[in-house]
Amino acid sequence: MTNAAGQLGNAAADWWHAVLAGFVHNGAPAVPPAVLGGIVAVAIALSIPRGTWRWFGLYVTFVHELGHAFAALMTGRYIHGLTIGLDHSGQLASTGRRGFSATWSGFWGYPAPAVVGAALVWSVSAGWAGAAMSLGALVLLVALVFLRNFTGILVALASAAVAQALVMLAGPVTVSYAVLALGIALGVGSVRDFLKVAAVHTSRRSQLASSDAWILSRSTGLPAVLWLAGFALVIAACAVSSAWLLLGMLDRQATL
C-alpha cells in the first residue's frame, strides 16, 4: 500500500509539473504550408465526415454547454448541473436573476466553440500553445463537478485524457500542431452546429423548442432571427480572426 501510494503521488507530481511546464512561453512557431495543409485536413476529418463527427461533435457540444456555464458564472448564476446526450443535445441547469443574466448565459452556446477555436489558434500564433493545453486540461477536470450524466462524464474524461497525454508526453511543436488542429476543428464544428440550428428555424420547425435562438426570443421578445444573426456574427468574426492568424504564420515561414 505504501509503495502504491508513493507511485500515485509521484505520478500526480509528474502530472502537475507537466501542467506547470506548459505555461512557459515557447515562441511562435513557423508553420510550413504543407504542414498547415495537413493540420487543416485533420481538422476537417474530425468535423465534417459523419462517422468522426458523431464523436467529435460530442466534444463540440461539451464546449457549447461550457460556454453557457461560463457565461452564467460571469453574471453570478448558480449552476446545478450539465448534461450531454449521445444525439449531440445538451442542457445546462442554472438559477439566478432573470433578465440580462439569463440572456447572457443563453447566448454563449453556439458561439462558444468558435470563440474557443479562435483562442486556440491565437495561442499557437503567440507561442502559448502549451499554456492553452495545460489550461484546457485543468478546465476539463473542473468541469466534471458540473456534469450530471454518464455521457457527459465520459466525454469530459476522454477529452481530459487526451489533453493530459499531450501535456505530459508531447513536445512543444507537437502540442502546437495539435492545438492548431483542435482550434480549426472547433471553428468548423461551430459553423456546422450553426447551420443545424438555422435549419431548425426553416425546415425542421417541429424542433424549435431545442433552439437557443427560439428560447432567447421567448424570454426577451426579440425575433429569433436577430439572435441567429448574433450567433453568425460572432462565429464569422472568429473565422476571420483565425484565418488572419493562420496567414500570419505562413508569412512568418516565408520570411525564414
Digit-coded pLDDT (tens) for 68-85: 999 999 999 999 999 999
Would 151 be classed as within a structural domain?
Answer: yes
Query: For residue 8, what pLDDT is reported?
Result: 64
Q: How confident is the model at residue 11 (pLDDT cuts 50, 70, 90)?
A: low
Asked if pLDDT for residue 155 goes beyond 80, the answer is yes
d(CA 48, CA 168): 29
Task: Indicate the angle between helix axes 33-47 and 50-74, nearest 10 degrees.
Answer: 90
Domain count, the chain: 1
d(CA 64, CA 21): 28
Q: Which domain holds residue 225?
A: 29-254
Predicted TM-score (pTM) of this structure: 0.92
Q: Rounded mean pLDDT of 222-226?
A: 95
Please state whether beta strands 90-95 and 78-84 pair in parallel, antiparallel, or not at all (unpaired).
Answer: antiparallel
Asked if pLDDT for residue 238 goes beyond 90, the answer is yes
Query: For residue 254, what pLDDT is reported?
Result: 55
Residue bearing cell 508531447 = 170
Residue 235 in contact with residue 194, Cβ under 8 Å? yes
d(CA 251, CA 239): 18
Would 133 be classed as within a structural domain?
Answer: yes
Asked if pLDDT for residue 12 goes beyond 90, the answer is no
Would 244 be classed as within a structural domain?
Answer: yes
Would 49 be classed as within a structural domain?
Answer: yes
Would 9 be classed as within a structural domain?
Answer: no
d(CA 64, CA 234): 14
